[in-house]
Structures are given as C-alpha cells and as structure tokens.
Structure 1
C-alpha cells in the first residue's frame, strides 16, 4: 500500500486535517482517514486536493492559440473562427495530432487537470479517405494521454452533415465525415484498451451534424453506462437554424427525440430559456461549461444562477485551449455571472456559501460524472488523482483552509500547483512534467511544420 500524509486535504465533506491517503499499486484509493497521527517515514504534503476533470477538449486546436486574433473585413464570430479552424484541420497529420495532444495534456496536468474528455472528430485522411485503421487518429491521442499520464475519456465524434436537415458536408469538413457504423468501428477498436486510465464513450457532434436516427443507432449499440457528449445551443445562429428546421429550440428538440439522462453531457448549452434550464437540471445531465473558449468565440453566458437554483450539475472544460487552467475557467465562470447580474458571489448554495469551495467541488462532481470514470474525490474506490499546492507561495503561506480555494481561484495569476499525482504516479514534480523535455521537443517540431504550411 502506498501512502501520503496531508496536513490539510479536501475530502468530499470539505477540508479535513491530518489526512492519511492510501492507494494500491493499480492507483485506486483505499482510504482517506482524517485526524490521524502521521506515520513514520511517510511522505508529507501541506495542502492536498482532488485533481480537476477537464470535460471538453479538442486537443489539436491547442496549436491554433493566438493565430485567430485578427479582425477580418466583416464582423468576426464563432462562424468565421470556425472557417479558419477548418483550414488548419485539413493539413494536420495523426503524428502531429499526437504531439500537440501530449503538449496540451502536460500543460493541463501542470495546472491541475488530472482527467480529460477528448471530443475527437478528425478521423479521416486529408483527401477524405478512411485510414486503414479506423481509429488511427484517435489512437495517437490515446498514446499522448498515456505518455503524459493524464486520465482520458475518449469520445469519437459522429459528424455527417453541415447543418440541420442533413445538409451535405462542405469540402473543408471532409476529414470529419463519419456515419453511425464508422463511429461504432472506432469505438470497438478503442474499447479493447479500456481500463483504469481510459474510458471510451461517444459524441454526436451536434444536432446540426448528426441526425436523430444516427444517434439512436449508435446509442442502441453502445454499452449502457458509457458517457455521451454533444454540443448544444452554443450560438444564437444554431438556435435559429433549429427553429427553422424543427420549430423547436435545440435543447427542446433533443429532449423530445432522445432519452437524455445522467450519462449525457450537454456542452455549452449557452442559450437556454427557463423551461430548458429546468429540463436539463431534472434529467441529471451535466452542463459542460467552457468559459474561456465561450468568451474567446463570443458565444454568450450560460444561465448559471437559474441552473444551480434548479439543482443543475456543472463541469468545466478548456475546449479550444486558449487556457489550460481550471482556475481561469472557474474564475471566469463566476465573473461572467457577476457582470451579467451586477452582483457578487453568485455560484453558491444554501449549504456552501464560499464561492471557491462550491465551484471546485461542483466541477469535480460534474466532471467525474461526464468522464464516466471513478475520479473527482479523495475517497475509497476513486483514482489516486491529486494536487499538492505550494504552501510556501505568499498567497497560501499560513492561510486558513476556509480561505484556500477562494484564494486559489480569485487571487493572482501564479500557478500554485506544485506536484500532481494521477493514478498513484507522480507526473508533475516541482511544477515540471516528468516527460516535458521530450514532449516539448516534438511539439516545437510540429508547430514549425504547421507554420510552414500556413506560410
């Protein structure tokens, strides 16, 4: 049995003192016992908390960071950004995808994410043909997760159409093209690798890109407890297109056609009306919120206060990876609400009045549910995924635990994560990823290759 003694650890019931964590060789926690004496010879840490779950990632978009921040001749929006992203996606190789993903995953780990859900839709060759191995590109992402040490939920994306009503794909979308049988073959190829560090679910891209009939076909063949993620109601343009096609808003259309339950994650769900807020909350689905990307793309603000009032479940993701920090996602989730409502301290509940504590715990719980993996808490049966904060940093030195998460999220921009463990293995030590030199070298080479294509 492996052990770590924490002077202060965030357990499901809140902060506890003098906690002994014990886990087995396979990375499963067997105990988290509070108020115990520190055993002789056991490694110690001061502040320990569960690693965060990143529930929405398009890893290849990490290489686009900063390259789309120039205005065009017409007003820019999600739709103009998407055209640039498509042009980039037409050139990238599977090996480059893996190199980018490894760099991204190492950055996510250093900032406190220990699990990630990869919404992966670049499945085909640049000419539109399928690779000899249908899971070729997805396998490179899975290999990158293994190299970095991050826990992975792989979500092959069903993507058949360019718009509602089964509109044909555009040429620039040819690498994304899959039908229900393609996706089931990819899922089957990856499922043999399922284990403590890897889960495999599915992601119908959106109601624009996958028909209800296709989604039903995939769900009928998918094991019952596998996670299901979908983009929904991200943009006002999507809402209007749904109304034109079905006379229903996207969320209403989804719930009318499919059995949405706790294994679903509705990514973004930005533009909702009151009935939809209640419907999502009551179904138990997770709202997958990505505040830095939603801000970067000008999507809008999720109705967080109303959703929480209905008992809704939330998680966070870094999506296009303009940020790799859970602190920044949670900070801007709260700050967006403050700006919208012109009030402070929005994300709280009757039982938890501290914003930082509420946000971290809520995102852990929702993220774990969306990932479909036993993560998100320091308790028996979960993965030994944890963060050790730098107690010597001026922001944390001598701090009361009641104030720690509020300080972590809302005070300053230094990364306060010092060490990171995933599945019982240290993957970050003293703020450096254990495989960073090799990962960074591959990433730099990949960026050079891609920029040469761009020029």
Structure 2
C-alpha cells in the first residue's frame, strides 16, 4: 500500500510530494520529491499518529457524570468516590464496550497507540476471575475492535495509603498480592503477544498504593520495559508522603528507585525546582494529562522549567473526560501562559509553539510506551491526514498551530499499524461500536443509579 502527501512532517522536517510505502504494518520506504502513482491514497498533509501514554478506559463511562457540586468544596477525593461507584458496578462485557468506544474516539482524534494503565482487575465482589487476566483480555479485545495499538500496563495496587494501609472496600476490584500480580503479568504477556504491535510494561499505581518493599520486588521481576507510576498529583498526596517518610513523593522516588529513561511519572504536578531538574536529568518522561489535571483541579505542571532542564514529556487522556490530541496540547500551553502571564511559553525563540508541542509529545509518548514513533522507515505505520481546507498558513508549522490553537484543522484519515481506521473524520466501524456503547451505558447507569 502507498500513501502520497503534498506535505508530510517527517522525522525532524517537513517535506513536499512524499510517497510512503506501508508493508506488514510498518513504514517500509519514504520517497520525498516524487510524483503520485495510480492507486496511491493521496492527501494534503500527513503527520505521525500521537501516542496516548495514560488512559483508564473504564472511566470513559463516567465522563460528564461527576460535574455536580456537593454541599461543600469539591475535590479530587470526592470525584474518586464517584469513580469507585462506577468501577464497582461495571461488568466485564460493559468494560469492553466502553473501552472500544473510547479507543474509537482516540483514533478519530489522531491518537494511534494507547498506554492502558489498567487496574480494574477482578469481579465485582473483588474475587479474581478464573483467569486473572480476564479484564486484560477485554482491554485487548477492545483495542482490536477499534484497531488501536496497545501498550498494556497492568497496575499493581495493594494499599489505600502510605505505610501499607489496608485497602478500602471501594478498591476491592483493584487489589493484588505479589503472587497474584505475577499471575496477572504472565497472563497479560500471553495476551499482548497475540496483538500486532502489542507492548507490555509495568505500572505501580502510586507510592500510597505500593509499599517500598513491593516496589523493589516488582522492579526486580518486571522492570525491564516501560515503568509507569502516578506521583505528586495532589497536594494532599505530597503532605501525606511527607508525614509518612519525611520527604516529598518525587524526592522519595528519585532517592529510592532506579528512575531512568524507561520510567514515566504520571502527573508529577507538584515538584520543587530541584525535583524538576533532577527528574529531567534522569531522562524520565513526564506523563501529562492536561485536560484531566484541569478537570480534577490538580494544579499546573512546571513544564517550562522542566523543558529548559532538558526534560521529556508525552500526553495522555487519563480519566477520558474529553478526547483530543489538539486540546491536550492546547491546555498544556495555556496552563503555562496563565501561570507565567506570558504567551508562547513552551516554544523556543522564533519557533512555532504547535510544532514544539507536537514534536516533544510525539517523541516522549512513543518512548514511554516502548514504541518507535514518527514518520521514519521501520516505525509502526501510524499516520494521520489533516483536513486543511480552511487554513491559510504562511509556513508548514502553522498547520500545527491552526490544529492546536485555532480549530482550523481537523483530522481526516487515520492509519494504525498500516490499517485505515478513520476516513472522513469517522471511524470505519463507528456505527457498530457506538451502538454497543449506548446499550451498555443505558444498562450501566440504571444499575449504578
């Protein structure tokens, strides 16, 4: 199969009249400065598909259902109670249907690989299924239905708070022992091996949910690939960590774990200047979810300082309240503008902000998910064509600026693993996937409420 683009953002530079050969789900050849041949699938602009490095698929079911203020000040911790209600109500069939809808929406937005931070493991009463990987298999099935590439990140979750506190009832579907988690990882490995482009990593839920001895045991056994962890998302978490250990969570992690370029620290919102510089120096990736972080009132990640120190980042949709590559990147830049009271904060002097955001998120996200991103030979054939009919740009980078900041560009077609999943802005299986999702949500809301 061959794609032809009048303009394509190859690794590091724009090129004109580019012909791309796709074979066995990979980019086999790239030829700029040529003519299209008969049968080529021709487009105005091609860019690489964006990795989504952090998702909790089941939470898509509660999008828009937690926006009612209670009798007192609302917070992340109140939102979490609603999330537990949804998690405890959902069957395996329902989770698969919700995940398929979500992954379809990700593809329509221009995400072509998802890192599923998967911690909804057990049956509704908290008992393991006969196959402890039942829900992991459902996540994989949903990824196949939608056609998105999957990096599965099974989550170890054992405690409700720092110091090994016993889990609470609302967490019963998340909890594993080390032995149970080893069985889950074994099952997950077999599942991922059957997926084209599948990857497997390790997720530690957080320092409050994983005790220090468990961190070390898990890293020794499963820490060879990507390692993801929630950290320093909320100020209460920082305060609780100090009360437990005498130090802040990122400080503790850097001092007690081999954090390096295999690691992805999700959120890392509340860091000191020293923590920010040290995290950047280690080569770890900051997993930023700007829309969710704004929705939950988490705070603002110190992105400009982190990037100035050489830090790397990727983006994720986390709670899946809204699915948009462009809007995640926009929210990231706008948060910095509000804090700094300045414009074009993340870009270097004379550089397009959209281009800087896109390049950095693409590179960091692919690394965090164990994939090779970008439009280059040997990479997964994950591509996005953009509809630029309403755009009047002085240079190529302004196509990205229009997409991210001006809503003048839309996603047209999307290929994941070489297969065309989206055409004309709509997923090729949208009707079937959405019908199942709607039926699922009617049943789920009836049982939940």
- TM-superposed deviation, 1:43: 2.2
**Deviates further, 430-439 or 144-153:** 430-439
| Structure 1 position 37, deviation (Å) | 2.8
* Structure 2 CA distance for aligned equivalents of residues 57 and 398 of structure 1: 33
Offset at 1:191? 1.2
Partner of 2:36: 38
- Which residue of 1 is the match for residue 403 of structure 2? 408
| Over 6 Å off, 4+ runs | none
1:173 maps to which of 171, 174, 177: 171
**CA shift for structure 1 position 147:** 0.8
Q: Deviations over 1:27-50 (max 9, x none)?
A: 111222222233343221110000
Aligned to 1:368: 366
Gaps of at least 5 residues in structure 1 are none
Specify the SS of the correspondent of 2:213: helix
Q: Distance in 2 between matches of 1:9 and 1:43?
A: 14
Q: Write the distance in 1 (CA, Å) between the matches of 2:223 and 2:119.
A: 21
1:437 correspondence with 2:436: no
Instruction: Give the conservation status (yes or no) of the 8 Å contact 2:280–2:306.
Output: yes
Deviation, 1:415, is 6.5
Match of 2:384 among 377, 384, 387: 387
Alignment partner, residue 377 of structure 1: 374
Residues in 1 aligned to 2:53 and 2:171: alpha-carbon distance in whole angstroms: 24
How many Å separate the matches in 2 of 1:42 and 1:88?
46
Provide, for residues 310-354 of structure 1, a one-character-per-residue CA deviation record: whole Å limited to 9, x for no partner: 00001000100111001010001000100110000011136x711
Q: In the alignment, does 2:5 pair up with 1:6?
A: yes
- Cα distance between partner residues in 2 of 1:415 and 1:178: 45
Distance (whole Å) between structure 2 residues aligned to residue 62 and residue 437 of structure 1: 18
Judge conservation of contact 1:187–1:201 (CA < 8 Å) in 2.
no
The answer to whether the 8 Å contact 2:388/2:399 transfers is no
Query: CA shift at 1:308, angstroms?
Result: 0.4
Q: Distance in 1 between matches of 2:409 and 2:53?
A: 20
Show the counterpart of 2:265: 266
Match of 1:359 in 2: 357
**2:208 match:** 208
Q: Counterparts of 2:396 and 2:177 in 1: how far apart (Å)? A: 50
**Candidates 106, 119, 124, aligned match of 2:122:** 124
Residue-by-residue CA offset, 1:184-225 (whole Å, 9 max, x unaligned): 21121121232542111111000000112112212211262x
How many residues align? The count is: 447
Instruction: Look up the SS of the partner of 2:337 in the other structure.
Output: helix
* 1:60–1:97 Cα contact (<8 Å) kept: yes
C-alpha contact 1:199 1:372 (8 A) present in aligned 2: yes
Provide the C-alpha distance between the structure 1 equivalents of 2:14 and 2:371, rounded to a whole number of angstroms.
Answer: 23
**8 Å contact 1:124–1:176 — kept in the other structure?**
yes
Measured after TM superposition, the shift of residue 398 of structure 1 is 6.8
| Counterpart among 104, 108, 111 of residue 109 in structure 2 | 111
- Look up the match of 2:288: 289
Residue 64 (str. 1) matches residue 62 (str. 2): yes
Q: TM-score, normalised by structure 2?
A: 0.97
1:453 maps to 447
| Aligned residue in 1 for 2:413 | 419
Q: Distance in 2 between matches of 1:205 and 1:168?
A: 15
Q: Give secondary structure in 2 for the equivalent of 1:176.
A: coil
TM-score normalized by structure 1? 0.96
Superimposed CA distance per residue, residues 164-201 of structure 1 (whole angstroms, 9 cap, x where no aligned partner): 00000011111110122222211211212325421111
Tell me what 2:83 maps to.
Answer: 85
